[in-house]
Amino acid sequence: MLKIITNSKGSGDWIVVLNTYGTVIYQGHSINHRDLYDILKQVIGEQCELREVTDDEIMDLASGGQLLDD
């Protein structure tokens, strides 16, 4: 389980992610794609993959298309 804590009742500029054991696995002002990948990798391990694509590829995927394997 992940616990996500944010100061959204205040300035809303900070986020802390804790794992099942209460250990901080991320803290910062925002989460970008690399941060999310690192968080998920810690939680689910090798079942997580980061794939960087072009604008055209991401639009095709969003329209129901499929990405070709490298």
In this structure, which amino acid lies at residue 6?
T
Helices (H), the chain: 33-44, 55-62
What is the pLDDT at residue 25?
93
In-domain check, residue 38: yes
In-domain check, residue 70: no
Q: pLDDT tens digits for 12-50? A: 889 999 998 999 999 999 889 999 999 999 888 888 889
What is the pLDDT at residue 24?
95
In-domain check, residue 67: no
How far is residue 43's CA from residue 57's CA, in Å, rounded to a whole number? 27
Task: Name the band, by pLDDT with cuts 50, 70 and 90, for residue 6.
Answer: very high
Range of the domain at 10: 3-62
Task: Name the band, by pLDDT with cuts 50, 70 and 90, for residue 68.
Answer: low
